[in-house]
Amino acid sequence: MTEDFRRHPIDEQYVARLAERGLRMTVVDPDDVEGQAAYPHAVNRGFHEPDRTEEQYRTFRDALQRRRLVAVYDDRIAHPWPIATVGSWSTELTLPATAAGEGRVARSWAISTVTVLPTHARQGIARAMLEQELRVAAERGHPYAMLTVSEATLYGRYGFAPAADATSWRIDTARVRWVGHPTPRRLEPATLEAARDEAERVYERVRPNRPGWIPVWPERWGQLFAIGSGIAPDEKGVRRAVVARDEHGTATAVATYHVTSTGNDFEEHELHVDFIVASDAAGLAAVWGYLVQMPLVAVVHAHLQPTDLPLRWLLGDERAARVTVGDHQWVRILDVPAALAARGYLEAGALRLRVHDGLGYAEGDWMLRVDADADGAAKVAAAVDDPEADAAPGLELDVAALSALSLGGVTPFELAQAGRITELGPDAGSGRALAAADRLLRSAVAPSLTVWY
């Protein structure tokens, strides 16, 4: 295996599959200046993004330099860029914590920039690219693969499932009767640079305890705070940042936002939250209180917020906010024993899991055990090796359903109601196995993810 994951070769079967169609799928070598330069043009075209300036592409390329880039070329046509792209990297995914609140992270294969030009759509190119990604992830020992998606209909077929939802908020500020927080925090205006640095520190403090979170890379930090990405800070309206500090002066919450005007009426501005992170409840409340009570702002919009954001308890009038929930962080288990042993558990218990996986990686009949004296750590083995497996509560499900459960963001009962899980064993149909699975697989903190990747 190559040391550098960016050079990990594509399994021959996928290369051959596209070669049959006259297409050349290749890894873009990190030292291939031309190949690297062409790549972001193809990605932007794929996502209907405008062509960028060289400065903007430079930032994009800096980020891409840390990824394994796969490009598909059609050598029969005179097109200077790849006709399909996918980029990926090895990183961390936070998993549910133990009852003692000890966070857990696992290696996870992040997949991004999946594009196929419309001229070449529906020929199986994305399928070949995605299947080779899962192969690389598994070959390199990643129990999970993950992605955020442009369309929710694309990735279930490869075993991915939404494991952490995100909420969008629209707050009518005229209805807010802010009820505050018992521990007020000091608020400070901050430059975008200072706020970015503080936000990064807060995020990294919090990340090990937020299931679904991943490390954010430097160029994404720049974009979130409109710094150094070639995007002028005021491209989308006036960009501002605010920081909340505790009694020791430590930043515990940071927000960046921009305000747009809707016409002639000064009181009708709209405020858009671009990013917000908090390491304590008082900081979070202070920053949200600041945002929703902003002078001259009629509406506040925020996206990618956790499903357990406590904001509606602070608004005074719950109906000041309209909240919509949607899928955001998609996860795919590749190695069942490693994936389930990597997370923490709140309770002791045992559960049999008969998993089906069309691509083979997670297929098997498994036994998950968390012993009472194991401090929330699990042992996972083949059911055939466990003499008590036949008597244990059990579930039969496909890998996407198991992946959906992996961060504790959906209950086994909900998936059973949707026909995605059936009970196994002597009490099948009684609900006992679903209840046992619910107790074992839950997370004390709702999974979330506040960035795109």
Phi-psi region of 430 (alpha: psi -120 to 50; beta: other; left: phi over 0): alpha
Smallest distance, ligand COA to C-beta of residue 115, A: 4
Q: Could you tell me what percentage of the chain is helix, strand and coil, using 3-state DSSP and rounding each to the nearest 5?
A: 30, 30, 40
- Choice between 123 and 422, CB closer to ligand COA: 123
Smallest distance, ligand COA to C-beta of residue 129, A: 8
Smallest distance, ligand COA to C-beta of residue 277, A: 24
Contact residues for 272 (Cβ-Cβ < 8 A; gap 6+): 236, 237, 257, 258, 259, 260, 300, 301, 302
Give the rounded distance of the alpha carbon of 5 from its chain centre. Answer: 21
Cα–Cα nearest to 353, from 444, 427, 425: 425
Cα–Cα nearest to 88, from 189, 10, 177: 10
- Choice between 133 and 280, CB closer to ligand COA: 133
- Choice between 150 and 324, CB closer to ligand COA: 150
CA distances from 219 to 62, 230, 430 (A): 8, 11, 51
Neighbour-count burial of 299, counting CB atoms closer than 10 A to its CB (0-12 exposed, 13-18 middle, 19+ buried): middle
Question: Which parts of this chain interact with ligand COA (CB under 6 A)?
Answer: 46-47, 114-116, 121-127, 149-151, 153-154, 157
Phi, psi torsion values for 148, nearest 5 degrees: -105, 150
Smallest distance, ligand COA to C-beta of residue 107, A: 21
- Choice between 41 and 240, CB closer to ligand COA: 41
Smallest distance, ligand COA to C-beta of residue 13, A: 15
Smallest distance, ligand COA to C-beta of residue 149, A: 4
First CA to last CA distance, the chain: 26
Task: Extract the tokens encoding 250.
Answer: 């430590």
Do residues 195 and 254 touch, judged by C-beta distance below 8 A? yes
- Choice between 317 and 327, CB closer to ligand COA: 327
Task: Extract the tokens encoding 229.
Answer: 């990405």
- Choice between 114 and 416, CB closer to ligand COA: 114
Query: Across the strands, what pairs with 325?
Result: 167
Smallest distance, ligand COA to C-beta of residue 60, A: 16
- Choice between 225 and 330, CB closer to ligand COA: 330
DSSP annotation string for 50-80: PPPPHHHHHHHHHHHTTSEEEEEE-TTS--S
- Choice between 126 and 136, CB closer to ligand COA: 126
Smallest distance, ligand COA to C-beta of residue 65, A: 21
- Choice between 34 and 151, CB closer to ligand COA: 151
Smallest distance, ligand COA to C-beta of residue 422, A: 23
